[in-house]
Amino acid sequence: MMTLIRRALGSLVLVACRAAEPPMAAPNDNATPAGTAADGRLAVALEARPARWYPAAEGGPALEIAAFGEVGGPPSVPGPLIRAAVGTEVSVSLVNRLPDTLRVTGLIDPLTSDTLIVAPGATGMARFRAHRPGLYGYVGLTRRGARVESRGVGEQLVGVIAIDSAGAPPDRIFAITAWSGPVIPASGDSAFLIPVNGKIWPHTERLRLAVGDSAHWRVINFASSSHPMHLHGAYFRVDARGVWTGDTAYAAADRRLTVTEVLYMRETMTIAWSPSRPGNWLFHCHDAFHVAHTQESDLPTAAALWSAQLHHGTTPPPAGTPHQPGTGTAHGMAGLVLGIEVAGPAPSGRSGAERRLDLTVQERPGVFGDTAGIGFVLARPGTVPPDSIEIPGPALVVRRDEPTAITVHNRLGYATSVHWHGLELESFYDGVAGWSGTAARLAPSIAPGDSFVARFTPPRAGTFIYHSHFSEVRPFAAGRFGPLIVLEPGERWDPDRDRVVIFAVAGIGDSALVVAHQGGRPLRAGVPYRFRFINITPADDVTLELWQGGQPLSWRVVAKDGADRPGQQPAPARLRFGPGETTDVEFAPGRGAVVMKVRSFNDFESVIAVR
């Protein structure tokens, strides 16, 4: 814009002044509550305004967004944390510094979807009483004529409300958001980001704990997608589940141990866990696309395209290059990942003779059209043909409390790694190259032609998974996974009555869901069977039902992610589960054919005969 400025000598000088750049949005770790509290009252002064957001490195590519902030402070992603004890009277003023009308749900009453409407330049007021403990969200929507932006420009116009019961333990809050951007010309895919507390990995906060600490976490999903959240190296206990308008605390008998829990759209969860082993661990989404390294590698191009789109500009974006497996960081991740550094004494040495297995990873051309299949074979290199693979990989059967050493031989043309999903083991063997272990001893990737020995002693029996943890989208679609079965000491695995059912996809791209059912003889009436269901799709939420004679079967859930579920009563044979989850059930069929009805998030639907 042009501005006239009068100098002291009385002359007029015409000066070109650039419009002020919007302020930088700070990442919000949700550790510091907003507002001023006194005498059972909390007053919070918010504003909504344009902002520059750096989802990766500070000073790196910036995205123009709308964001909440406290008046007088910087905007943030997510917005300021409104935190109060039960019984507090909360008042919120909200100044709208956006060019659009602002509609906000969650501030008038967190338990409802009542909307506060604030015109551009105006101030709105909301008051509520914090009368029910839980985790809630306040969410903005902007409207200019027919144009509607859910969660504002850039989808970050959200914030957390936490209402605490008396005596609640200290906790951490993690808010998952999303950003949807333009198509990247080099790949033809739409750019997107899945940050947590305003950052994507490897720029997310490092969480520092010590062995034996009690960690209490609350997670809220503001993104328009589901997230199977997976913890490495330990189990967590699910204490509450809910949605943005409130959660429900579970009774002690209903709390469950798990390593993967799916947060669907608008959902929340409260979890507790305690690390028992030192080293580096991860808490991340098990949707392979939500941790893809392209979120960071595409960001410079995406930011330039986004700015041009917002301002109707014509500046050409920088040239992009397609992401290749194995490039970028050693583990090939970005996005919805939190790193956990656990301090403590080094683990004691292993005792007893080890059971030794050899697992070779290699590929065979033309398995999926023009695409090679990548899989495992339970053998040393040279003892089988170089293109011999199994998809899914062979079942690895080990026993609880039995020291085990698995040598992984890499016969691919690029580096890889193997993660022992769900196992409680030493960090160095967890399988995230360049991260697992400690700063003094990080696990390497397995170079072409090289090998790595993973050592562990499983402390519990159950159903687990082994899979690549290296640029996950392609390995999950090409076959780099298999079941890991841990039996009780002295137990014999009977694959006829103890069956593995794996849900996966076949090949790269929009491939259909496939079901790998390891079966023996046809099911026999009255005979008890254990089915071990594994979801290792890149991104498919799966719903399945077992039917016989036109009626749903009944089964009993006996384990989730390898953790026993004692006391479960028979229930209709229906299961919904996401990537990275396993569930064990037991049932005895009656007479007649048994079928499995399957539906997936990506619109796959089928009826499969179960032998």
Give the mean pLDDT of the chain: 90
**Domain, as residue range, for 394:** 349-493
Q: What is the pLDDT of residue 476?
A: 73
Look at the pTM and tell me if it is higher than 0.85. Answer: yes
**Helix, strand, coil percentages in the chain from 3-state DSSP, rounded to 5:** 5, 50, 45
Q: Is the pLDDT of residue 362 over 70?
A: yes
Q: Same structural domain for residues 475 and 548?
A: no
Q: Same structural domain for residues 204 and 245?
A: yes
Q: Same structural domain for residues 274 and 361?
A: no
Q: What is the pLDDT of residue 330?
A: 62
- Which of 493, 525, 559 is the last residue before a domain boundary? 493
Q: Poorest-confidence range of 51-55, 162-166, 327-331, 487-491?
A: 327-331
Q: Same structural domain for residues 260 and 168?
A: yes
Share of residues in the chain with pLDDT > 90 (%): 75
Q: Same structural domain for residues 463 and 430?
A: yes
Helix and strand numbers (H, E) in the chain are 3, 50
Q: Is the pLDDT of residue 121 over 50?
A: yes
CA atoms of 272 and 265, how far apart (whole Å): 21
Q: Same structural domain for residues 159 and 238?
A: yes
Please count the CA atoms within 13 angstroms of the CA of 218 that sit on its side-chain side.
31
Quick one: DSSP state of residue 444?
Answer: P
Domain CATH for 388: 2.60.40.420
Q: What is the pLDDT of residue 508?
A: 58
Count of domains in the chain? Answer: 3
Q: What is the pLDDT of residue 511?
A: 53
Average pLDDT over residues 518-545: 90
Q: What is the pLDDT of residue 289?
A: 92
- Which of 493, 522, 542 is the last residue before a domain boundary? 493
* Number of other CB atoms surrounding residue 102 within 10 Å: 26
Which residue would you say has higher pLDDT here, 366 or 124?
A: 124
Classify residue 305: in a domain, yes or no.
no
The distance of Cα 227 from the centroid of its chain, to the nearest Å, equals 5
Q: What is the pLDDT of residue 17?
A: 39
Classify residue 234: in a domain, yes or no.
yes
Classify residue 313: in a domain, yes or no.
no
Average pLDDT over residues 529-537: 95
Work out the angle at residue 488's Cα, subtended by the Cα atoms of residues 497 and 462, and round it to the nearest 5 degrees: 70
Q: What is the pLDDT of residue 4?
A: 33
Q: Is the pLDDT of residue 520 over 80?
A: no
Torsion sign (Cα): 249, 38, 126, 221: negative
Q: What is the pLDDT of residue 149?
A: 92
Q: Is 510 exposed, middle or buried (0-12, 13-18, 19+ CB in 10 A)?
A: exposed
pLDDT band at 145 (very low <50, low <70, confident <90, very high): confident
CA atoms of 153 and 500, how far apart (whole Å): 46
CA atoms of 605 and 188, how far apart (whole Å): 27
Q: Same structural domain for residues 483 and 513?
A: no
The distance of Cα 127 from the centroid of its chain, to the nearest Å, equals 34
Q: Is the pLDDT of residue 519 over 80?
A: no
Q: Is the pLDDT of residue 16 over 90?
A: no
Q: Same structural domain for residues 142 and 222?
A: yes
Read off the pLDDT of residues 242-275 as tens digits, 9 standing for 90 and up: 998 888 899 998 999 999 999 999 999 999 999 9
**Between the CA of residue 61 and those of 53, 68, 78, 180, 303, what are the distances in Å?**
8, 20, 18, 15, 6
Average pLDDT over residues 60-81: 97
Q: What is the pLDDT of residue 201?
A: 97
Q: Same structural domain for residues 430 and 548?
A: no
